[in-house]
Amino acid sequence: MIVLVIALLLALFLLPNLWAKWVLARHARGRDEYPGTGGELADHLIRRLGLEGVRVEMTDQGDHYDPEARRVRLSRENHEGRSLTAVTVAAHEVGHAIQHQQGYAPLLARSRLVAVAQKAEKVGALLMMAAPFLFVLTRLPGGLAIVVAAAVISFGTAALVHLVTLPVEFDASFQRALPLLKEYLPPRDLAGARHVLTACAFTYVAASLASILNLGRWLVILRR
């Protein structure tokens, strides 16, 4: 029974991430008929939409929009790639810049929560480093409650941020990016673009599940 539960939990964690990677890779083939790269499309959309102060940069830290620096950051393959994945991911990240310009409340809330989550994750790292001491502390009166509370705050906050992120991601994908892509992509590519946009959101599903699994693992360890 325990083995089955573990297998199901691993499947819940791995499948969304594997599916997202498969979709992104499936549509990453170069398309010579596309007029520009992902970076060029992002630049064009920023100028066309009048997103003042927003710039496009290449990064090795994953595709994302930085609201503090007002930067659309794209991985090399998406910045320089001329593929369905490249242009769709670029439009998705520009979608976040549109949200920012329009004062989209969930995006602003997520930005505040991210700062909290980063601190909480540091607490989680300290918990792991201090594991031997924690095992002694849990045998003291009230010690277990303190450690469990710290673990819940650390990993629970990270999971909450990822869950809050989901509606922000879907809005950037389907309310902002997709209407723009319909003007640039041939109709036959729109189904693939929808899959890529969904995959962008599912990376956060996997991250949320990972945080929940970390929390569950700590709770199991501390109960021993």
Of 63, 81, 58, whose CA–CA distance to 172 is shortest?
63
Q: How far is CA 137 from the centre of its chain?
A: 35
Rounded to an integer, what distance in angstroms lies between the CA atom of residue 174 and that of residue 170?
6
Radius of gyration over alpha carbons of the chain, in Å? Answer: 20
Number of C-beta neighbours around residue 61 at 10 A: 8
- Provide the token pair at 64: 């994302």
Known active-site residue 183:
no
Rounded to an integer, what distance in angstroms lies between the CA atom of residue 17 and that of residue 26?
14
Q: Which residue in the list 93, 121, 169, 183 is annotated as catalytic?
A: 93
The strand ranges marked E within 120-178 are none
Cβ–Cβ < 8 Å for 90, 34: no
Catalytic residues: 93
